[in-house]
Structures are given as C-alpha cells and as structure tokens.
Structure 1
Amino acid sequence: MSGLRVVPTRLRGRERLYVRGTDGNNVAWYDRETARISLLAEDSRQDVLAALRPFLTGPVTVGPPPAPTPAELARLTLHPDDDLAPNRPGEALLVALARDPAHRLRPDPRRRALLAEETVGAALDALEGAGWHTLHSIPLPGGDRVHHLLIGPAGLFAVRALYARRQRVLVADPMVAVGRRAPEPLLRRLRADADRAAYALTAEVRPVLAVAGPAEVLITAAPRTVRILREEELAGLARLGGLLKPGDVDALHAMARDRRTWRGL
C-alpha cells in the first residue's frame, strides 16, 4: 500500500495521528498518549509503520483497535439531534437572539447574559485536556436549563454564569444582587438545577455560581453547598481531589450529552 498520509488531530484533548489511504479512509491511527498504533487491516502494517516512523519517539504497541467502551458505544449510537455535546456556550440565547433581529435596535439583557455564558464557557472548555468534559446550555423541561455542566475527576458541577462586569455582587443566601439591581434568589434556582441534574444522572452534582467580570464580590455568609467563583477561579476546580475514574467520567459524559436523559425530569 502506498500513498499513505498522516493527519494529526486532537480528540477530547488527546493527540492522535491518523494514517489515511489515497481514498481518504483511515487505515490506522497512532495514539501518542498510550503509544499504540491501531491497525484496521493487518496487511498494511509495514506501510503504516513506514508512514509513521518520523513521528515515533519510542517503543509502540501495534495491533487491532481496542474494543469500544460502553461510553464510546453510546456515543456512536447517539442520534445527532439528541447529542448536546456540540452546544456552544449560551446556545439557547444565541438561538433566541438570532430569531429576534430587533434585539440589535434596543438594549437587551440577553446579550449580557450571553457574554457571561461565553466567558464562563471558555474558562471551562480550557479544562478539556485535563480529563474534564463540559456540556453547555442543557435544556430542562419547563424552559429551564443548566448553563454549564462540568464533569471530571473531581465530580460533577452545575455552573450558572452571572454577568457582573465592573459591578459589585452581594450574596446573601439565597439572594444575589448585582450593582443596583434588585436581589434575586439565584442560589435557590442554582441548587434546584443541580438537584435536577443529580436526579437525571444518578450522581452527586455540586452547584457553582460563576461571576463574570465583577468589580467586587461580597458574601455575607458562606452559602450552603454553593461555590461562588470568579471566572478566573474556575480552573481551580481541576485541582480538587479525584473522585471519579476516567471510565466513570466518560460514562457520565455519555449519559449527560444525550438529550433524552433530561426529558423525564
């Protein structure tokens, strides 16, 4: 077999080199992290090794692809319409604003809310390479939604984004006031979102309020069960003690990305 080309990609934070034939189909791939070359056809072994030789830095294992895990099988059989993984931060707001062109002609609080979700979402997505997964804008029955669901070694977190650019945020559980606006029971809603997510996933989900761009955050007393974090502090969640094994993280992510998981709440 000749004419093989090597195409580098990143899959869930891991680097892979795919070896493709002249027809564009994959014949093998090299996972740098596990130092394994997975062959789809044994008779292509020598050609694949020759194509990958410039990229190999040490001993490798060569063999057929490993059997897919239950989480991988669930992902492969998930219909695209039911897959929430492609959701962008603030997906629901993006859709709503696109359907309402008139929002450009007037002040619209949805634009500030969208900016907060995009800012917080970007901070959470940055954890992807450290064994974490983030799902955005998960719809719940009744019109509610989980802004962001973070799943990783330290567990699961329901994260609600709050726009507070250059404003003071006052937290008096369950009320949260931003600037001169009237206080709202955001912590009660956030706990309810986390409880619904925990019920859907049959796993503990801890609530986090992520404040985007505040000038100051004042907390009158430590809120019950809720973490209050600035956007730049979200990376600290990755340093919490490990609770879940990689297989458990993948299984929970596979369940959470399936829209059908959330319909029965």
Structure 2
Amino acid sequence: MSGPRRQPGPRGPGGLRVIPARRHGQERLYVCRPDGHNVAWYDREAARVHLLSEDAREDVLDALGSFLTGPVAVGPPPVPTPAELARLSLHPDDDLAPNRPGEALLIALDREPGPAHRLRPDPRRRALGAEQAVGDALDRLDGAGWRTLHSVVLPGGDRIHHLAIGPGGLLAVLAVHARKQRVRVSDPLVALGRGAPAPLLRLARSLADRASYALTAEVCPVLALTAPAELRITVPPRAVRILRDEEIEGLARSGGLLKPAEVEALYATARDRNTWGRV
C-alpha cells in the first residue's frame, strides 16, 4: 500500500517517532515504532489521539507532548449509542454483510468459468474451497458473540478474506488451501508442498495494517490453513497467528478485549463498503 509522504521526526519514549503527514486532505501526526508500524495518530482538526494499542498510551502521549495544544480526546472513537447505530442503515450496494465466504471468487468463476478441458483443477476453486471452509467455521462463532464479514475488497485489488470481530478482538483472516500438503513457515515465507515459498505472512500483516487504519482499532493478522498434512514452523512468525481450520472454533473461548457494544459498533463501521475506499 502506498502511504503518505513522511518526514522523519524526533524519537520519543520507547523509540517512538512522530511523523507529520497529510492524508486524504487531512493533516495528521503519525506515531511509529522503530520498525515503521503505526501505533497511533493525532488528528489535529478533531483534537483526538487515535490509539491502535492501549498498552502504548503513555509512551504515545509522551512522544506527542510538544505537539498537543489544549485538551484532546484519547482512544478509539466513542462507541455509538443504539440510536446512532440505528441510523447506520446502508444502501444494499454498500452493505458488505450479505457477502458469502469467497464472494469475489464466486463472482469471478461465474463470469469466467474457465475451459472445461482443463487438465488440472482451477486454482481459483481450491482457493474458494479454503475461503468457504474458514468462513463457515467463523460464522459458527456467531453464538459466542462474534461477527464476521467475508471478502472485503480493498483499493488496488487486495482482499481481506474474512474480518472477524468478537470478544477476542479483531482478526483479519487470510485463508490458504493446504489440504494434504506439508506446510513450512519461515517468516515471512510460507511453502505449501513442493511449491515455491511465498511471502504470505507479509501479506497477512499488510492486510491487518490496512484494516487497523480503516477501523481505528488494533487488528490481528491470522493465517488460516485448511486441512494441512503437516505444519512446521522454523522461524516463529512476528505478530501473526497461524491456525488450522479445525482450531478456529477455539476462538469462542477467547475474550476480554471487546465488549458487546464495541463489537457491534465496529461491525457497523466495517460492513460499510465506503469504510474501505481509502486504505
């Protein structure tokens, strides 16, 4: 993703750097870790510091100290009231909630099925099977307080296969077909069977970062593997959870990060197609 042009700023507590930038016509001050990842940004016009991680609150405020003028609000946007949520009714064309797992692939296969004489299975159908298996597993978490959106299309053609929002936080899930294959993980590369390694963990982190920006909340990247024969992790992945599809149901036991009202507020924002237009 191409980001704003940034000029380095001084380093603050914890090595945080404050970087001024203009994005979509708005002036912001981004607070970044030494590795370049944002942990917060200060919207001067709204007088609000948006935190992606509550744990960084004190360091972020210390780093921004000389830039803050007057009182500011700190944290994610306020949780909408029931009345405000009721006003979030969307035009059907803008509502992502009806998307089926693999929606984009289903549409593509319907438009261009591919030749009937293909000797090998269409790779799109294997990818579709993975998205459907993972999506169905996530949908079954609904009774545990989770809400899931499928096939969230981003500018440039990238796609978040599944965005899960629940008591255990926000998850950007990348579904990968691995049926009966040996999977080797060496961050950022993932090798499936005899295929060439691909930087799937880098892609998962990038998608989660874009979702974090869109939703003003911390989003955890997840790589979901469907029915691998073996999973071997040689280099532990940085900030990416790796799950087999049968392990997804275990998310129902996670919690403590989001309250029900916060889940519904984030879901209401995420289901609006316009939320994703500038990430």
TM-score bracket for this pair, using the shorter chain length: 0.7 to 0.9
The structure-2 alpha-carbon separation of the partners of 1:196 and 1:103, relative to structure 1 and needing over 3 Å to count, comes to farther
SS for the counterpart of 2:257 is coil
- What is the match of residue 78 of structure 1? 90
1:209 aligned onto 2:223: yes
- What is the match of residue 90 of structure 1? 102
- What is the match of residue 192 of structure 1? 206
For residues 103 and 182 of structure 1, the distance between their equivalents in structure 2, rounded to whole angstroms, comes to 26
For residues 209 and 252 of structure 1, the distance between their equivalents in structure 2, rounded to whole angstroms, comes to 22
* Contact 2:169 2:255 (C-alpha < 8 Å) held by counterparts: no
Among residues 177, 182, 193, which one is paired with 1:163 in the alignment? 177
For residues 221 and 153 of structure 2, the distance between their equivalents in structure 1, rounded to whole angstroms, comes to 17
Q: What are the superposed Cα offsets for residues 79-136 of structure 1, whole Å, 9 maximum, x if unpaired?
A: 1000000000000000000001325432310000000000000000000111110000
- What is the match of residue 150 of structure 2? 136
SS for the counterpart of 2:235 is coil
The structure-2 alpha-carbon separation of the partners of 1:158 and 1:72, relative to structure 1 and needing over 3 Å to count, comes to same
Unpaired segments of 5 or more residues in structure 1?
A: 1-66
For residues 255 and 82 of structure 2, the distance between their equivalents in structure 1, rounded to whole angstroms, comes to 28
1:226 aligned onto 2:240: yes
Unpaired segments of 5 or more residues in structure 2?
A: 1-80
SS for the counterpart of 2:108 is helix
- What is the match of residue 238 of structure 1? 252
The structure-2 alpha-carbon separation of the partners of 1:143 and 1:103, relative to structure 1 and needing over 3 Å to count, comes to farther
Q: What are the superposed Cα offsets for residues 127-173 of structure 1, whole Å, 9 maximum, x if unpaired?
A: 01111100000000000010000000111000000001101000000
Spell out structure 1 runs of 4+ moving beyond 6 A: none
For residues 110 and 139 of structure 2, the distance between their equivalents in structure 1, rounded to whole angstroms, comes to 24
For residues 148 and 115 of structure 2, the distance between their equivalents in structure 1, rounded to whole angstroms, comes to 29
| Amino acid in the other structure paired with 1:163 | H
* Contact 1:97 1:103 (C-alpha < 8 Å) held by counterparts: no
* 1:164-183 pair list within 5 angstroms: 164-183=178-197
For residues 87 and 103 of structure 1, the distance between their equivalents in structure 2, rounded to whole angstroms, comes to 27
Question: What count of residue pairs does the alignment treat as equivalent?
Answer: 197
The structure-2 alpha-carbon separation of the partners of 1:215 and 1:248, relative to structure 1 and needing over 3 Å to count, comes to same
- What is the match of residue 119 of structure 1? 133
* Contact 1:172 1:221 (C-alpha < 8 Å) held by counterparts: yes
TM-score, length of structure 1 as denominator length: 0.72
Among residues 233, 251, 254, which one is paired with 2:265 in the alignment? 251
TM-score, length of structure 2 as denominator length: 0.69
Identical pairs, percent: 67
1:100 aligned onto 2:122: no
For residues 219 and 264 of structure 1, the distance between their equivalents in structure 2, rounded to whole angstroms, comes to 35
1:238 Cα deviation after fit: 2.2
